[in-house]
C-alpha cells in the first residue's frame, strides 16, 4: 500500500472531486481513499478514469457504511460501490465503524466472501479499538490488512500502534493534518521553518518515519502537491523526538456512535 494517499471526505462536489483525484494521480499519488458515506464514489471513479495512470497502478480503498453491515447489505452495497467507482475490484474494503448494523460474525463473513470472490483484494476495518480488532481477528478467515484510525501528532495512538505491530496489520492515519490543527502548533511551525516547508509536510513526514500510511484530504493542486512533497522531507531524529513529545490529546472526529472509550 503506498504510504501516501489522497483523502476525499467532504470533497463532494462531483467535478471538483474528480479533478482532485485526477490531479493527484497525475502528480504521483497512487492511493485514493473514499467511502460509501462520502457520496463521491462515482466522482472518484471518474477522476481515476480521466487520469493518465493505469487503474491497476492505483491502490483504491472504500468503506462500507454502518447501515450496510448486515451480510446481504455488505454484498449488495459493495457491488454498488464497485459500479459507481467503475472498477471490478477494490484494493481495500473497510468496515467504516464498529457501529450501527456491525455484527462481527455476520459482517466479517460477508467481507470473507468478497475476499474469496476477489472483488476485495484486502480486508480492513476502521475506528476499531484493540478489543474490536481482537474479535475481528478471531472471526475473519481473510488476513486483516489494515485499521484506519485518526492519527496525527496530537493523537499519537501509542496503544494501537503497539497492537498493530504485535498482530501484524497496517495502520492508516486519517485526519493526518488534524483537520487543519497542524497549522497551529509551535513545535511543528518551528520544524517547518527550519526546512522551509509547510507544517502539513512535517506531520506527514513524521507519520512516514513511523511507517504509517497517511491519507491527507486536499482539494486544490497547491495542497495536493504540497502534501506529496512530504515524501522528500527527512526529519532528524531530534525533530522526530520533539514531535513524539507533544503532549496533547486532541481527537477531531468523535461522532456519538464512536467507541464508548472515546468519551
Ligand atoms: P485532514 O486530511 O487532516 O485535513 C484536511 C484539511 O486540511 C482540509 O481542510 C484541506 O483543505 C487542508 N489541507 C490539506 N493539505 C493542506 C496543505 N498542504 N496546506 C494547507 N491546508 C491543507 O482531514 P480529513 O479530511 O478529516 O482526513 C483525511 C481523510 O481521511 C479524509 O478525507 C477521509 O478520506 C479519511 N477519513 C476517514 C475517517 C474514518 O472514519 N475512517 C474519518 C475522517 C477522515 P482543502 O480540502 O481545501 O485542500
Q: Determine contact, residues 53/79, Cβ cutoff 8 Å.
A: no
Beta-bridged to residue 152, according to DSSP, are 155
Q: Is the CB of 218 under 6 A from ligand 1?
A: yes
Beta-bridged to residue 148, according to DSSP, are 126, 172
Residue nearest to atom 19 of ligand 1 (CA): 223
In a domain? residue 148: yes
- Bridging pattern class, strands 6-7 and 31-33: parallel
What is the distance, to the nearest Å, from the Cα of residue 169 to the centroid of all Cα atoms in its chain? Answer: 14
- Per residue of the chain (263 residues), give pLDDT as tens: 999 999 999 999 999 999 999 999 999 999 999 999 999 999 999 999 999 999 999 999 999 999 999 999 999 999 999 999 999 999 999 999 999 999 999 999 999 999 999 999 999 999 999 999 999 999 999 999 999 999 999 999 999 999 999 999 999 999 999 999 999 999 999 999 999 999 999 999 999 999 999 999 999 999 999 999 999 999 999 999 999 999 889 999 999 999 988 98
CATH number, residue 114: 3.20.20.100
Kindly state the helix (H) or strand (E) to which residue 60 belongs, with its residue range.
strand 59-64
In a domain? residue 65: yes
* Cα–Cα distance measured from residue 229 to residue 145, given in angstroms and rounded to the nearest whole number: 27
- Check 38, 94, 115, 174 and give the catalytic one: 38
Q: How many structural domains is the chain composed of? A: 1
* pLDDT value of position 125: 98
Q: Is the CB of 23 under 6 A from ligand 1?
A: no
For residue 11, the ligand 1 atom closest to its alpha carbon is 46
Q: Determine contact, residues 21/87, Cβ cutoff 8 Å.
A: no
- Residue 7's φ and ψ, nearest 5 degrees, are -80, 150
Q: Is the CB of 61 under 6 A from ligand 1?
A: no
Q: How far is the CA of 141 from the centre of ligand 1 (A)?
A: 32
Q: Is the CB of 225 under 6 A from ligand 1?
A: no
Kindly state the helix (H) or strand (E) to which residue 220 belongs, with its residue range.
none
Please tell me whether the overall predicted TM-score, pTM, comes out greater than 0.95 for this model. yes
In a domain? residue 84: yes
* pLDDT value of position 263: 82
pLDDT tens per residue across span 16-34: 999 999 999 999 999 999 9
* Cα–Cα distance measured from residue 164 to residue 238, given in angstroms and rounded to the nearest whole number: 25
Q: Is 38 a catalytic residue?
A: yes
Q: Determine contact, residues 123/170, Cβ cutoff 8 Å.
A: no
In a domain? residue 243: yes
* pLDDT value of position 49: 98
Q: At what angle do helices 186-195 and 199-209 cross, to 10 degrees?
A: 90
Which residues span the domain enclosing 157?
Answer: 6-248
Amino acid at each position: 500500500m503506498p504510504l501516501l494517499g489522497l483523502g476525499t471526505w467532504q470533497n463532494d462536489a462531483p467535478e471538483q472531486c474528480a479533478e482532485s483525484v485526477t490531479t493527484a494521480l497525475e502528480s504521483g499519488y497512487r492511493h485514493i481513499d473514499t467511502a460509501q458515506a462520502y457520496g463521491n464514489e462515482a466522482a472518484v471513479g471518474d477522476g481515476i478514469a480521466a487520469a493518465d495512470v493505469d487503474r491497476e497502478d492505483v491502490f483504491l480503498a472504500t468503506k462500507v457504511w454502518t447501515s450496510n453491515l448486515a451480510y446481504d447489505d455488505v454484498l449488495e452495497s459493495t457491488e454498488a460501490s464497485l459500479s459507481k467507482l467503475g472498477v471490478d475490484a477494490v484494493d481495500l474494503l473497510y468496515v467504516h465503524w464498529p457501529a450501527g448494523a456491525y455484527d462481527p460474525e455476520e459482517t466479517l463473513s460477508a467481507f470473507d466472501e468478497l475476499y474469496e470472490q476477489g472483488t476485495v483484494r484486502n480486508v480492513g476495518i476502521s475506528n476499531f479499538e484493540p478489543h474490536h480488532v481482537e474479535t475481528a481477528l478471531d472471526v475473519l478467515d481473510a488476513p486483516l490488512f489494515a485499521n484506519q484510525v485518526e492519527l496525527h501528532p496530537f493523537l499519537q495512538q501509542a496503544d494501537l500502534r503497539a497492537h498493530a505491530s504485535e498482530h501484524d496489520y497496517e495502520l492508516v492515519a486519517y485526519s493526518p493534518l488534524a483537520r487543519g490543527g497542524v497549522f497551529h502548533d509551535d513545535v511543528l511551525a518551528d520544524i517547518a521553518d527550519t526546512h522551509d516547508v509547510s507544517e502539513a509536510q512535517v506531520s506527514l513526514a513524521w507519520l512516514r518515519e513511523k511507517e504509517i500510511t497517511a491519507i491527507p484530504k486536499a482539494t486544490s493542486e497547491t495542497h495536493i502537491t504540497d502534501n506529496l512533497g512530504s515524501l522528500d522531507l527527512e526529519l532528524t531524529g531530534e525533530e522526530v523526538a520533539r514531535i513524539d513529545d507533544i503532549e496533547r490529546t486532541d481527537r477531531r472526529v468523535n461522532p456519538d456512535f464512536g467507541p464508548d472509550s472515546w468519551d
